């Protein structure tokens, strides 16, 4: 991706929430990818293993795409976040081998649910600066994260533990940390209508406010 001109770099670097969110997303994608390596390794079913391996690949692709954006505006990667999320990813990866089948699915889905709004909010922050160059990639990454969320929910939707975990952790059937409708026509112009109630998520790992999904979870 070509570097931006000086005025665009100044605008983006002056948007503190956007810079924080880009750095956060870049490092968090590393943790997610490492976690899915362990998750895929811990399951026996060939189809599930293949799906988890693809999700891992998606996370590496997202990390590369965010790095392109960071480099476009000469934004340095946060070394602190890199170390933090490296350790988190490795810890989650190892835990997948000892905590059973349900919990890795549940908490992966809950994590992906929070990931979705990061990319739509990034797009909205860029729009505040009059920048639309990244609309397509940010929108597609947000939609992909939503598809990941749905994959994990589908995998546990009939499990007897889901209602118990949903009461405690506020994610599950009909309850999501985003309001993105994956069934809607895929159009980056629609991103402005999503995640309006989440607020600033640049200072925390994942948004804490629960939103009802636009379409009932299956």
Q: Tell me: the pLDDT tens digits for 46-68?
A: 999 999 999 999 999 999 999 99
pLDDT reported for residue 215:
40
DSSP for 61-127, please give it.
Answer: HHHHHHHHHHHHTTPPP-HHHHHHHHHHHHHHHHHTTTS-SHHHHHHHHHHHHHHHHHHHHHHHHHH
Can you give the pLDDT at residue 5? 86
Predicted local distance difference test score (pLDDT) of residue 104: 95
Give domain limits for the chain. 6-193
What CATH code would you report for 6-193?
1.20.1260
Q: How far apart are CA 36 and CA 131, in angstroms?
A: 33
Phi, psi of 100 (to 5 degrees): 90, -170
- Which pLDDT value is given to residue 94? 96
**pLDDT tens by residue, the chain, 218 residues:** 567 889 999 999 999 999 999 999 999 999 999 999 999 999 999 999 999 999 999 999 999 999 999 999 999 999 999 999 999 999 999 999 999 999 999 999 999 998 899 999 999 999 999 999 999 999 999 999 999 999 999 999 999 999 999 999 999 999 999 999 888 888 888 788 899 876 555 554 444 444 444 443 33
Find tokens 């991706």 and name the residue. 1
Provide the percentage of residues in the chain whose pLDDT is more than 70: 89
| Tokens 């929910």 belong to residue | 153
Locate 169 and state its tokens. Answer: 């952790």
């Amino acid at each position: 991706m070509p570097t931006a001109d000086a005025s665009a770099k100044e605008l983006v670097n002056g948007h503190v929430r956007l810079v924080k969110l880009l750095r956060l997303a870049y490092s968090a994608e590393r943790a997610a990818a490492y976690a899915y390596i362990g998750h895929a390794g811990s399951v026996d079913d060939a189809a599930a293993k293949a799906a988890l391996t693809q999700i891992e690949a998606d996370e590496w692709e997202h990390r590369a795409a965010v790095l392109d954006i960071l480099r476009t505006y000469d934004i340095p990667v946060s070394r602190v976040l890199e170390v933090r999320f490296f350790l988190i990813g490795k810890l989650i990866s190892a835990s997948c081998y000892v905590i059973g089948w349900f919990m890795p699915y549940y908490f992966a889905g809950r994590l992906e649910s929070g990931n979705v709004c990061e990319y739509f909010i990034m797009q909205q922050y860029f729009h505040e600066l009059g920048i639309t160059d990244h609309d397509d990639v940010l929108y597609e990454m947000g939609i992909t994260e939503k598809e990941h969320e749905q994959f994990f929910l589908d995998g546990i939707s009939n499990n007897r533990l889901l209602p118990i975990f949903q009461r405690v952790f506020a994610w599950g059937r009909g309850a999501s940390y985003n309001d993105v409708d994956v069934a809607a026509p895929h159009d980056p112009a629609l991103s402005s209508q999503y995640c309006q109630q989440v607020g600033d998520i640049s200072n925390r790992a994942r948004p804490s406010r629960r939103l009802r999904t636009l379409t009932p979870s299956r």
